Chain A
Amino acid sequence: MKTYKKWLPWVGMAAACALPFLFTSSYMHQILNMMLINGIITIGLYVIFGLTGIFSVAQAAFWGIGAYTAALLATRLGVPWYVCFLAAPVVAGLFGILLGAPTLRLKTHYLTMATIAFAEVVRQVEVNWMGLTNGPNGIRNIPAPDLGFIVLNTPQKYFFLGLLMLGLVVLLANRLRSSRLGRAMEAVRDDELAAEAMGVKLVWVKILAFALSAAFAGLAGAMYAHLIGYISPDVFHMEVAIQVLAMLLIGGRASPYGAILGAAVITVLPELLRGLQDWWAIIYGLIVLAILAFAPKGFLGLIQQLGARLSAGRPAKGGVAE
């Protein structure tokens, strides 16, 4: 079981490279890119919620902060794209710490409310601080990434940069989860009190979770800004945060791959439902509901169950009888 886990991600990446060539429309390429971007944001949610158990609804806000950071640096200061890609996660990460630090002692729904409040305040600032963000008009003319030998000015070309970023994030997330930090996060999620009693520094772990999840979302923001070339506050609405939550829950909150799977499904679902015209949103909501009800561990959970059933015939792992 464990051996194929090693090369699966590489195979996945290779297979993904073929995707942009399966479609000819720029629109489909855009969707593929959005899958990547959403995947990264959702992996951020995986870090703070899947690993650490903190139910934060602020991911969209950090996505927005990253996007605005990149956009402002690129358009006002002429900063090249790769610096933006570096600066956005750093700035977003700092805001993550800003949100995390004062809310550490809060429990469950209080904490969630605080993240909602934070997200809403960020959005209000984006809309109203004309001097900085240009308000509802947004920021235009964000240049496409220039790699020297090629400019990524079509979604198809951009996809490969996006894929690289996603691969990087997955790599980091996997290294995190199999390290002492990831274990500490999971311990905090499962039993904060016991974790502390075993020597885990709660403050550190939680702030790290906030910082990393925000940083990932920030990177996704920079990616979005340079992909579309234009950002405005209504892109980063709360509904995005809710969609990200759905992505993680549907894909499976136990691993970064679940995050990617869920992101892909939710991103593509509206397209698949397009044929239903104005019924699509209703069916969409119902599908999400159905998956939440019947697949609580997400698709990844279903796949695991399927795998377990297929290798049945061997007796289940038996505990020592009393």
Chain B
Amino acid sequence: MVLVGAAVIGVIFERIAYRPLKGADGPTYFAATLAAAVVIRNIGLKIWGPYALPFQEPFGLNMITLGGVRIRPQDLLIVAVVIVLSLLLYFFFYRTRTGKIMRAMSQDRPTAQLLGVRVLSMGTLTFIMASMMGALAGVLVAPIYFVSLDMGFTLGLKAFIATIIGAWGSLPGAIIGGLIIGVVETFGAVYISSVYKDVFAFALLIVFLIIRPQGIFGEKIADKV
């Protein structure tokens, strides 16, 4: 049900915040995205109020013990979902026609249009998928952190960083990037400083941008003169 709602929001977003911009440049899209975020967030504020809501833990407070380490069942669920989702997405983007069309669009939109791809509906589909995944992440994480309207921002930033570390436009890259951030953050919080936990992702980003900006799986993009 949540997923359907997210899908609807995705469509609305695309209609209002994406299409009207008509090929404006990057920063304009960026600003539009953020303006839309303000709108969505405040609609949420109006509906649910400003206070954090507790989310019913589906597994209660039971921990599972695995190899001497205590793990929350929610975490295991998240891992399971990530694995399943990764496989699904891989299959979608690399094995289905629609997925390949989307990848083509991202590489060369005008040519894709000329070849008959309905870029507008594909674009809408992209937004639908993205919002659904965002919503899914929110639902999965909700029992661990409290539900509030700001939970998305930092997560969103880290998602961005993950795609850069992994390689922009690479599916395995995004997954691995996310994993790396998670691991570095946690170990950093334990061994270095828990206060600066959020900084680790950014420090990692800076390191990567200097040493290997194209990401782990990235390719060099040469300038044609």
Contacts and interface: CB of A to CB of B under 8 A. Distances in A.
Q: Do chains A and B touch in the complex (CB under 8 A)?
A: yes
B16 A289 contact: yes
Given A289-B36, A292-B28, A281 B42 contact: yes
A120 B202 contact: yes
A249 B205 contact: no
Interface stretch (B19-27, B69-77, B99-107): B19-27
Nearest to B210: A102
8 contacts: A107-B221, A114-B209, A116-B160, A121-B199, A242-B31, A245-B30, A282-B46, A285-B39
A55 B54 CA distance: 39
Interface in A221-269: 238, 242, 245-246, 249
B27 to A, nearest CB: 5
Nearest to B203: A121
Nearest to B206: A117
A124 B153 CA distance: 15
A128 interface: yes
B204 to A, nearest CB: 9
Interface in B203-225: 203, 205-206, 209-210, 213, 221, 223, 225
Interface of B: 16-17, 20-22, 24, 26-28, 30-32, 34-39, 41-43, 45-46, 153, 157, 160-161, 164, 168, 195-196, 198-199, 202-203, 205-206, 209-210, 213, 221, 223, 225
A120 B16 contact: no
B97 to A, nearest CB: 28
A116 B223 CA distance: 25
Contact of B26 (A109, A121, A284, A294): A109
A107 B215 CA distance: 13
A145 B160 CA distance: 43
Interface string A50-90: 00000100000000000000000000000000000000000
A191 to B, nearest CB: 11
Find the residue from B30, B34, B153 having the highest chain A CB count within 10 A: B34
A294 B20 CA distance: 8
A292 B31 contact: yes
A246 B35 contact: yes
Contacts of A322: none
Interface in A163-213: 193
A244 to B, nearest CB: 10
A124 B198 contact: yes
B32 A49 contact: no
Contact of B20 (A55, A193, A288, A293): A293
B39 A124 contact: no
Contact of A296 (B17, B28, B38, B225): B28
Contact of A110 (B37, B164, B199): B164
Given A102-B210, A121-B203, A293 B22 contact: yes
B173 to A, nearest CB: 14
A282 B199 contact: no
A153 interface: no
A285 B206 contact: no
Nearest to B42: A281
B209 A113 contact: yes
B42 A113 contact: no
B43 to A, nearest CB: 6
A97 to B, nearest CB: 16
A120 B199 contact: yes
